[in-house]
């Protein structure tokens, strides 16, 4: 568990008492008890309050807050406050503010405005982290450290330019190796000295964010900025650990946030935490996939749901309310997929600035007689009732989908073949089909061990990193089923094409080669025509986006294109390799194909769905100590029924025995405890 001081699913969220007066604090204490709140995240943006000048630190207000929370039975997730530097720092040391993508020097304001390569910023952030750790290391309320907040954003200042050159020296060693890696003979870009290299932004190589003349340069700058921000986190992490080696440390991630390589970050987090803010119309399978990705960052270790809104966001174009029951439903969705905490932003709604219309446990009216508070309090009672039953329960998935941030960067930076290709969307198509089939799926990175899985799917594996093809070959040879798709095996880690025919290093295991790639206009379609019945697969399906024109090199052709000049060329192949199979889906097929195709694969491997779920019902499972916890979540606005077959058990939320067909109310939740 995260910390043995609180052996239950943590319940609470971000709390900013410094924005209020003492008479409000007493009401907070009373209402936290009513809601079952037992954890408060504090000090997230209080650097300016605790350090009003370079040499002055004032933590008395924080002493009082932590002591008061502890007296009232509330533990503390203590932030280091470094998510926004104080105004005096920007005034005295202008180098701490960033230069933006367009080359403009920022003034003080906003947040995420600190240059990650400013030695001044790193110095002061290390100092305050150390002072906090030294002061509160023995406080009984301290449960976990929260470093900064929602790291993100790139900087293009002179600090970063110089640090980038140092990062490149370390990566490539010599300027000649760098020139080769970046293919700088193109457009006469040869570099003769390190100081000729500048950050790729709107003043140099890039425009419109993800459009670039030199993919290798832009790809490395994304790696460098992710590493730079991670280095800032690690400086604070190490300072906290120096004083409190046994207190876990985290920082809150943001799901599929594009700018940081979270698989690298997760290596330095004691527990992954993340902030979940879907829109009302976000597919609930996409939210489930994001939870599964957060769980996958540390090979299945449970994570923290650090933030969600109890009612509405303030920053989306249309900030719809969560309908009755949805907050509870989405909270249990997080728990079902590996969360050992349910926490909110925020506990009391702010009175001013940009988050005053962001939802809160305690609304502006200030009392408990609100729909939102009643729902929060009811969930608090249920989580208290669950105790430690679910803590540290894991996934037992036999199917995994590969996701890689660097592959995403490379795919989105490439200058072709279509602007419509969205890596995350293609990954979600495969996840969504498995989700609707009721098949538990892990989201994994390219460094994850594959041996525990029966099926591994790597959609749009455009970038094949060194050694990964061999890893796939070993997995398939040992009996695994591997699936990849169009636009895979094209380039290496530097975005340099692997010559000899696509899919490059994957040709051997896949038994095919691709001659050309056709990009279809948004309203254009082709067809995947099966060459006979293959289990659930039969007949004709629609496809679009991209079509690889492939040839078999030993792979069996199971389907062909139905139209255009490449009618009759392979669209779906399978290659027997060792004891296993390697599949190639040469285009982006419709949802019906996805469902039939993946139903075939899981049936062939003997993987049983968790439950046969109707549309709008989600099934997920956690396992622990020989017991299975099956979560059934009804996202529909009306009652739904699920057939449990011969695997009944006890509903943890009601204590009643369930078997056969179980009814789940609208937006309802059932958690069935049963033997494995």
Q: Measured between alpha carbons, how far is 407 from 425 in angstroms, rounded to an integer?
A: 14
Q: Measured between alpha carbons, how far is 84 from 97 in angstroms, rounded to an integer?
A: 11
Active site residue 150: yes
Q: Which of 150, 375, 493, 621 is catalytic?
A: 150
Peptide bond into 417 cis (omega under 30): yes
Instruction: Bin 295: left if φ > 0, else alpha if -120 < ψ < 50, else beta.
Output: alpha
> 400: burial class by Cβ within 10 Å (0-12, 13-18, 19+)?
buried
Structure tokens at 495: 């975005």
Active site residue 264: no
**Strands, E assignment, 49-114:** 75-79
Instruction: Look at the block and give the residue holding tokens 């622990």.
Output: 624
Residues in the chain: 676
Q: Which of 206, 307, 412, 493 is catalytic?
A: 307
Q: How far apart are the first and last CA of the chain?
A: 22
Q: Measured between alpha carbons, how far is 198 from 195 in angstroms, rounded to an integer?
A: 8
> 246: burial class by Cβ within 10 Å (0-12, 13-18, 19+)?
exposed
Phi/psi of residue 106, nearest 5 degrees: -75, 150
From the CA atom positions of the chain, what is the Rg in Å?
Answer: 26
> 587: burial class by Cβ within 10 Å (0-12, 13-18, 19+)?
buried
Phi/psi of residue 61, nearest 5 degrees: -60, -35
DSSP string, 425-470: HHHHHHHHHHHHHT--EEEE-TTS--TT-SEEEETT--B--TTHHH
Is residue 147 classed as helix, strand or coil in its secondary structure?
coil
- Locate all alpha helices (DSSP H) within 72-191, ordered by sequence: 87-92, 119-136, 158-172, 175-182
Residues 163, 169 contacting (CB under 8 angstroms): no
Helix 175-182 / helix 215-243 crossing angle, nearest 10 deg: 120
- Give the torsion through C-alpha atoms of 274, 275, 278, 283, to 10 deg: 10
Is residue 323 classed as helix, strand or coil in its secondary structure?
coil
Q: Which residues are catalytic?
A: 150, 307
């Amino acid at each position: 568990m995260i910390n043995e001081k609180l052996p239950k699913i943590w319940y609470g969220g971000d709390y900013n008492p410094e924005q209020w007066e003492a008479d409000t604090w007493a009401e907070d204490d009373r209402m936290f008890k009513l809601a079952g709140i037992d954890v408060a995240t504090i000090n997230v943006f209080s650097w300016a309050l605790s350090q009003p000048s370079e040499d002055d630190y004032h933590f008395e207000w924080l002493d009082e807050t932590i002591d008061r929370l502890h007296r009232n039975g509330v533990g503390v997730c203590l932030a280091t406050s470094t998510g926004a530097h104080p105004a005096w720092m920007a005034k005295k040391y202008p180098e701490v503010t960033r230069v933006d993508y367009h080359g403009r020097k920022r003034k003080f304001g906003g947040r995420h405005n600190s240059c990650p390569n400013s030695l001044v910023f790193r110095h002061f952030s290390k100092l305050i982290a150390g002072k906090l750790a030294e002061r509160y290391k023995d406080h009984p309320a301290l449960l976990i450290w929260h470093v900064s907040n929602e790291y993100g954003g790139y900087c293009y200042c002179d600090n970063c330019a110089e640090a980038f050159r140092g990062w490149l020296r370390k990566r490539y060693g010599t300027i000649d190796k760098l020139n080769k890696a970046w293919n700088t003979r193109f457009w006469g870009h040869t570099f003769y000295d390190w100081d000729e290299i500048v950050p790729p932004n709107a003043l140099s190589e890039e425009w419109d964010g993800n459009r670039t003349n030199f993919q290798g340069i832009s790809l490395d700058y994304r790696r460098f900025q992710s590493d730079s921000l991670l280095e800032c986190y690690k400086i604070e992490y190490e300072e906290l650990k120096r004083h409190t080696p046994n207190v876990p440390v985290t920082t809150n991630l943001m799901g599929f946030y594009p700018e940081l390589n979270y698989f690298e970050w997760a290596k330095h987090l004691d527990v992954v935490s993340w902030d979940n803010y879907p829109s009302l119309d976000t597919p609930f399978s996409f939210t489930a996939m994001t939870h599964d990705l957060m769980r996958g960052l540390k090979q299945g270790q449970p994570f923290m749901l650090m933030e969600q809104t109890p009612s509405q966001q303030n920053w989306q174009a249309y900030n719809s309310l969560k309908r009755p029951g949805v907050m509870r439903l989405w909270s249990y969705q997080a728990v079902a997929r590996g969360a050992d905490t349910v926490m909110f932003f925020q506990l009391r709604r702010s009175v001013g600035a940009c988050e005053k219309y962001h939802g809160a446990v305690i609304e502006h009216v200030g009392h408990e007689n609100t729909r939102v508070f009643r729902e929060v309090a009811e969930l608090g009672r249920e989580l208290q009732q669950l105790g430690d039953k679910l803590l540290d329960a894991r996934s037992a998935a036999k199917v995994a989908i590969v996701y890689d941030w660097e592959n995403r960067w490379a795919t989105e930076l490439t200058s072709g073949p279509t602007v419509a290709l969205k890596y995350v969307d293609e990954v979600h198509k495969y996840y969504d089909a498995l989700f609707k089939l009721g098949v538990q799926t892990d989201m994994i990175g390219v460094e994850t061990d594959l041996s525990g899985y029966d099926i591994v799917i790597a959609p749009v594996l455009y970038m094949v990193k060194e050694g990964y093809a061999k890893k796939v070959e070993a997995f398939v040879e040992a009996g695994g089923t591997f699936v990849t798709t169009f636009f895979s095996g094209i380039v290496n880690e530097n975005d340099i094409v692997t010559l000899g025919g696509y899919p490059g290093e994957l040709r051997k295991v896949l038994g095919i080669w691709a001659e050309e790639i056709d990009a279809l206009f948004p309203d254009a379609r082709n067809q995947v025509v099966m060459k006979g019945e293959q289990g659930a697969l039969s007949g004709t399906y629609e496809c679009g986006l991209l079509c690889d024109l492939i040839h078999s090199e030993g792979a069996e052709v199971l389907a062909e294109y139905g139209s255009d000049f490449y009618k009759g060329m392979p669209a779906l192949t399978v290659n027997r390799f060792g004891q296993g199979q390697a599949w190639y889906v040469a285009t982006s097929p419709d949802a019906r194909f996805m469902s039939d195709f993946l139903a075939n694969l899981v049936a062939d491997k003997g993987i049983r769905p968790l439950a046969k779920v109707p549309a709008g019902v989600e099934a997920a499972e956690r396992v622990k100590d020989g017991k299975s916890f099956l979560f059934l979540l009804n996202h529909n606005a009306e009652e739904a029924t699920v057939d449990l077959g011969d695997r009944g058990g006890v509903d943890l939320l009601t204590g009643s025995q369930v078997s056969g067909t179980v009814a789940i109310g609208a937006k309802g939740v059932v958690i069935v405890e049963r033997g494995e």
